[in-house]
Amino acid sequence: GAVVSQHPSWVICKSGTSVKIECRSLDFQATTMFWYRQFPKQSLMLMATSNEGSKATYEQGVEKDKFLINHASLTLSTLTVTSAHPEDSSFYICSASGGNTIYFGEGSWLTVV
């Protein structure tokens, strides 16, 4: 079946640095991918819609200059957290459409120290 893969699964970075998270659709093409964020013990909140070959669409309250999204190909979208701070520590998860359903990646745990 369709699989969406994220990398890395876990990442620790220093405050002030940038970190990139990749989301790949492994056996299907995804013109649109979505990035979600989950704070501890909370639900998943949509951050942005990633469109292949065009700019991402961000949800209200999400800083586009801080969370850079690039969707360079039909199978890859990247989320770069720039100048990371401890409050950016969270679980980030992507999704991609494959047929009639949406598949989620395994998620990436970011810890900023």
Phi, psi at residue 13, to the nearest 5°?
-135, 160
If one asks whether residue 80 binds another protein (CB under 8 A), the answer comes out as: no
The span from the CA of 50 to the CA of 31, in Å, is 8
- Which C-beta is closer to another protein: that of 9 or that of 18? 9
Look at the block and give the residue holding tokens 């395994």.
Answer: 106
- Angle at CA of residue 8, ends 43 and 6, nearest 5°: 60
Site for another protein, residues 18 to 47, rule: CB under 8 A: 32, 34, 36, 42-46
State which of residues 22, 74, 109, 111 lies at the interface with another protein (CB under 8 A).
Answer: 109
| Closest CB 28 distance from another protein, rounded Å | 13
